Copies of this chain bind each other. A is one copy, B any other.
Amino acid sequence: MCPRRPSAHHAIRRLEAGRPSRSGPRSGERYCHSVNRRPTLADVAREVGVSAKTVSRVLNGDGPASARTREQVLAAVAKLGFQPNLMARNIRVGGPDTTIGLIIPDLGNPFFGTVASGIEDTVRDRGLTLLMGSSADDPDRERALADKFLARRISILMIVPSVGADHSYLKAHRAAGLPIVFADRPGVGLAADSVVSTNRAGAHDGVTHLIAHGHRRIGFIGDLPTNLYTRRERLAGYRAALQEAGLPYHRTLVTNAHDQHEAAAATSRLLGLADPPTALFAGNNIVALGIIVELARGKRKDIAVVAFDDVPLAEALEPALTVVAQNPEEIGRTAATAALARLDGDRSRARTITVPTRLIVRGSGERPVPALQKA
């Protein structure tokens, strides 16, 4: 039997148990490598009969090394199953950890997942790994995550800002050279790069499409909370389109929803108005789902719909859903590219980069005004 020296992976349990930890083997006992300590550089060096530095050289390929030693070292590494401790390396080198901290509101939302995917694709060959966490759009959770990431000395910090978050606490980090990029929404209180969709123009295009097809009363169902950046921008685009067409802006036609269920309720509420809208504009993908499900439930094919953000089965609906598609993958790629440029020394002024949206006409916006709907 091996003496059970508390292994590294039991450190957490040890803390809880409050058991005093012994750092050396008890007399007459030897360590059993397979259960106890992970092998270190020194172990490999001892095995081969060289110095730790030589092993380091072979593994990192900096200094020279004879073919023979190299072989021996590699053999010992394989034999012992040695894997260099990256934390120890980083601490000595003094550089940042090769991770990129990413904070998004919701891991389960495919929009943000796709953003993350774009980031990963872009940074992979730089050897950076994603450290991810979800904020649930809570500024406190966002801050806690950021602090954790910063304590890890991440190379890059990317945030989809929560509503109400203030980012001035990051000033010193940015000044110290940490690349910080905000995605999907701009940061607050910090001059850092951000990458956002053309929300206002996109909403404008979508609403204009509805107007072009004869709609005069167009409902808007946006995100909650209402001061969310994307909601504000998209509402602005909605209003601009109305104004441009000389149409009045009715507060009663504007409402909001935080999830699919609320969006369905909001839909039903708008349609129940004395003078109901003939078309609906969905402020995001979740709202779109709610609207569509509610319309399907009520068999209301007479209501035109345009949604901000594409949804998976848009083309299979009847009518197929017209959308203002975002490009989350591109948002991720762009944000990552900007961050890497900063990492490479780009010291230019903070910029806001926009990623274009695209109106995809599929039919749901083209319904004629149903003056005769019940005929």
Report which A residues bind B (CB closer than 8 A): 7-13, 16, 34-36, 38, 81, 83-88, 90-91, 93-97, 99, 106-110, 112-114, 116-117, 120, 129-134, 145, 147-153, 155, 172, 175-179, 289, 292-293, 295-297, 311-313, 315-318, 320, 329, 343-345
Contacts and interface: CB of A to CB of B under 8 A. Distances in A.
A108 B117 contact: yes
Contacts of A9: 95-96, 155, 176-179, 343
B318 A293 contact: no
A263 B6 CA distance: 52
A30 B145 CA distance: 33
Contact of A177 (B35, B81, B150, B293): B35
Contacts of A108: 110, 113-114, 116-117, 329
A10 B95 CA distance: 7
5 contacts: A8-B96, A108-B117, A112-B113, A293-B315, A296-B318
Contacts of A176: 7-9, 34-36, 38
Nearest to A178: B9
A318 to B, nearest CB: 6
A132 B134 contact: no
Nearest to A88: B91
A129 B130 CA distance: 11
B313 A86 contact: no
Given A10-B177, A176-B35, A153 B85 contact: yes
Given A9-B343, A35-B177, A99-B131, 20 more contacts: A7-B177, A9-B176, A13-B345, A83-B150, A86-B153, A107-B113, A112-B113, A117-B134, A129-B133, A129-B149, A130-B131, A130-B133, A131-B131, A289-B313, A293-B313, A296-B315, A296-B318, A313-B313, A313-B317, A316-B317
Contacts of A95: 8-9, 11-12
Nearest to A102: B132
B107 A109 contact: no
Contacts of A86: 148, 151-153
Nearest to A85: B153
Nearest to A99: B131
